[in-house]
């Protein structure tokens, strides 16, 4: 059986939740492999809306194993609250349906406090974080001072880890004019939450490899989008983890030879939340229309998303860096009624044409889009379930995108409803 990685191929908010939910019905295991609860997925299942941040999207599907991998940074208090919320909506969650990697780093209250304090003092160029502590938690992971899930099981180890962590954090806090951390209070909070987290702890790498050998279908769920990748995104306006498909291996402990299909989720136009370059951003009525029709507000923060025309240059780039096998094109119906559509096919920088987004931040900011115009369509695509249901110009638009990004469309989404999906290539067909 094929194993599938789902990644966002733009700046996030591409509609991964619906597609992961659509695919998870046919998967046996759904695994999160990076990010924290700064990324949100909205799922609508049988008329019920679920808003997930830390939990894998597969939890709303009965009979599936949901996994939080070691590439994730986990806020244990948030997770417990989220579990309570979805349980109240009728979702069963137990150690039989949810598993957390023992080597998963934890997000602590000190991380959120540091995140917000630093963001408040950056006057030159704000990164635009959610303030939930994701960045500082990843910093501690790389700095080898993180507290991981397994540490909660041994009081002596936990105290030693806290001491190492606070040696660093209290120094920072003094420099920022903040009070030092209450050591005893932090340890008490961790000891209190430990039983709620440890019951889900497991050697995820071992379990996933056993599932693979048994022929089970594994769906790897990415958060955010490739343009927010710490290495290949629009740095420094990025997240603190690797978002590309390759992280599915490092973030769960399963080898790259176990991945059979990479599905890149791509919106039929472009959006971005927060700060950073955005070559095709629109500030006119068309941009306003895209935002209103697409309901472009962040699941996690509620922040209004910036909107612009489809950028084929960026998507071609992210398909290459993630090794995308096929894309799922979402929100095509938002473009219904536009008389003219534009696609960015290149950039102009200092009088020269570029076919990729440069790495240097000053050059990214100066890139202006080179557009190709296409005739829009007046008919509705909402709810289309086959190519025959689509207007001719909508099909031309999709085909042109395929040509420009050098990657085929595997799935086409025509509304937020999971059933309104056109299957072109089955990602799970090995």
Q: Which residues does the annotation mark as catalytic? A: 13, 41
Compute how many other C-beta atoms are within 10 angstroms of the C-beta atom of residue 215.
9
Tokens (6 digits) for 146: 């993180």
Distance between CA atoms of residues 61 and 25, nearest Å: 7
Rounded Cα distance between 142 and 134, Å, is 13
Q: Where are the alpha helices (DSSP H) in 65-202?
A: 76-88, 109-121, 134-142, 155-175, 183-198
CB 19 within 8 A of CB 265: yes
Query: Token match 């995140």: residue?
Result: 115
C-alpha distance from residue 349 to each of 278, 314, 353, 354, 368 (Å): 14, 15, 6, 7, 7
In angstroms, what CA-CA distances link 252 with 39, 58, 182, 249, 323? 18, 16, 33, 6, 18
Q: Decide: 1 and 430 in contact? Cβ < 8 Å.
A: yes
Peptide bond into 343 cis (omega under 30): no
How far apart CA 270 and CA 393 sit, in angstroms, is 19
d(CA 179, CA 27): 48
* Beta bridge mates, 7: 264
């Amino acid at each position: 059986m094929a194993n599938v990685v789902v990644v966002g191929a733009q700046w996030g908010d591409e509609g991964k939740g619906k597609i992961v939910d659509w695919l998870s019905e046919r998967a046996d295991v759904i695994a999160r492999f990076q990010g924290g609860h700064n990324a949100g997925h909205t799922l609508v299942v049988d008329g019920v809306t679920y808003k997930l941040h830390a939990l894998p999207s597969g939890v709303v599907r009965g009979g599936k194993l949901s996994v939080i991998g070691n590439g994730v940074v986990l806020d244990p208090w948030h997770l417990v609250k989220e579990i309570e919320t979805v349980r109240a909506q009728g979702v069963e969650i137990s150690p039989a349906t949810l598993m957390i990697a023992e080597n998963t780093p934890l997000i602590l209250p000190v991380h959120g406090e540091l995140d917000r304090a630093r963001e408040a003092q950056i006057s030159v160029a704000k990164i635009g974080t959610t303030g939930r502590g994701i960045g500082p938690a990843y910093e501690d992971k790389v700095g080898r001072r993180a507290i991981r899930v397994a540490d909660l099981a041994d009081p002596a180890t936990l105290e030693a880890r806290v001491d190492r962590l606070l040696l660093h954090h209290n120094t920072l806090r003094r420099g920022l004019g903040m009070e030092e951390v209450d050591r005893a209070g932090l340890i008490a909070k961790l000891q209190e939450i430990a039983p709620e987290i440890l019951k889900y702890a497991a050697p995820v790498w071992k379990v996933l490899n056993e599932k693979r050998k048994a022929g089970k279908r594994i769906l790897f769920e990415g958060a955010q989008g490739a343009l927010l990748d710490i290495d290949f995104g629009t740095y420094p306006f990025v997240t603190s983890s690797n978002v590309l498909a390759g992280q599915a291996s490092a973030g769960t402990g399963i080898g790259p030879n176990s991945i059979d299909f990479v599905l890149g989720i791509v919106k039929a136009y472009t959006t971005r939340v927060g700060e950073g370059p955005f070559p095709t951003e629109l500030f006119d009525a068309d941009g306003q229309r895209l935002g209103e029709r697409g309901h472009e507000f962040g699941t996690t923060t509620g922040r209004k998303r910036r909107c612009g025309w489809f950028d084929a240059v960026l998507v071609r780039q992210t398909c290459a860096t993630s090794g995308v096998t096929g894309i799922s094109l979402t929100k095509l119906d938002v473009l219904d009624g536009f008389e003219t559509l534009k696609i960015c096919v290149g950039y102009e920088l200092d009088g020269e044409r570029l076919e990729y987004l440069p790495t240097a931040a000053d050059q990214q900011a100066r890139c202006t889009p080179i557009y190709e115009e296409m005739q829009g369509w007046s008919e509705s695509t909402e709810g289309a379930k086959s190519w025959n249901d689509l207007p001719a110009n909508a099909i031309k638009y999709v085909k042109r995108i395929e040509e420009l990004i050098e990657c085929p469309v595997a799935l086409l989404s025509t509304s937020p409803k999971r059933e309104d999906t056109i299957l072109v290539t089955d990602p799970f067909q090995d």
